[in-house]
Amino acid sequence: MSNSHVIVGNDAFATMPVVRKIGLADIEEALRKGFADFWAMPSHAVFLSILYPIVGLLLVVMTSGQNLLPLLYPILSGFALVGPFAALGLYEVSRRRELGLDTTWQRAFDVLRSPSIPAIATLGVILTVIFVLWIATAEGLYSVLFHPSGPQSYLSFLSEVFTTSHGWTLLVVGNLLGLVYTIAVFSMSVVSFPLLLDRDVGAAIAIKTSFRAVIANPLPTALWAVIVGTLLLLGMLALVVGLAVVIPVLGHATWHLYRRIVEPAPHASLTPAR
């Protein structure tokens, strides 16, 4: 498969995706349909029984060293950067339910049969690189403000962060930098992955369409970003188990939000079944 297909896809030359303006009612509808998909399909069981034990184990391993302890928060918050890629299976299941097809959780892996999979993989690599850059940025900021040797324990680290001037500097500057990364990733991915599942337009067109969606709908997409961030935070505060509900609902809702923002391809209201 040529590099040009990865960039522009087979469908990109036929028509450029048309972006609609949306409002609060569209976001409410996307969330309602997202919850309906979650309620109708056992995708939460997959996330609860497979994904989170693996993620938890990786976190323990990655933060077991004293020098990696300060990166726990950046790693947790940084999952939002790769979340759009990780939710591919949820988009696919919602797509199939929309078409009236079989929606067992195994069907989430039908993503691998998509003609856009090279472009999807390319976008996934881009998000992963951004995630690594974010972790490197967080580590660099900590190294500048704190002792190179790192904290001796969780309690000493938390005490230093919340009771010292350089700790507050870390919180303020770190979160501002994280916001910059989040805005960039959100703008390039809010509809790009669902679009690639729906139409073989290539990575470049998908990213461009996602930016166009944000530019055309600055307030609704900003509200959507706040909703996503708030629900993810609440899920994490609920001993992470809450994420077993939050992530599937948001994943399904993202597909329906894409349907509200991007008009269907001409003469094809729904993608043919794979």
- Domain positions in the chain: 3-261
Q: Please list the residues that pair with 265 across neighbouring strands.
A: 268
Concatenating the DSSP letter of every residue in 210-247 gives: HHHHHHH-HHHHHHHHHHHHHHHHHHHHTTTTTHHHHH
Instruction: Indicate if the alpha-carbon torsion angle 267, 88, 232, 145 is positive or negative.
Output: negative
The answer to whether the pTM exceeds 0.95 is no
Angle formed at CA 60 by CA 54 and CA 65, multiple of 5 degrees? 145
Coil vs helix vs strand at 41: coil
Contact call for residues 91 and 255 (beta carbons, < 8 A): yes
Return per-residue pLDDT of the chain as tens, 274 residues. 455 556 555 655 557 899 999 999 999 999 999 999 988 876 655 655 556 556 655 655 555 555 667 777 888 788 788 888 888 888 988 898 888 887 777 777 788 888 889 999 999 999 989 988 998 899 889 888 887 666 667 787 888 888 889 889 999 999 999 999 999 999 999 999 999 999 989 999 999 999 999 999 999 999 999 999 899 888 877 766 677 788 889 999 999 999 999 998 775 544 445 5
Helices (H), 115-242: 117-145, 154-163, 165-189, 192-198, 203-216, 218-237
Instruction: Indicate if the alpha-carbon torsion angle 84, 55, 71, 73 is positive or negative.
Output: positive
pLDDT tens-digit series, residues 171-184: 999 999 999 999 99
d(CA 197, CA 257): 14
Sort 52 into a burial class: Cβ within 10 Å, 0-12 / 13-18 / 19+.
Answer: middle
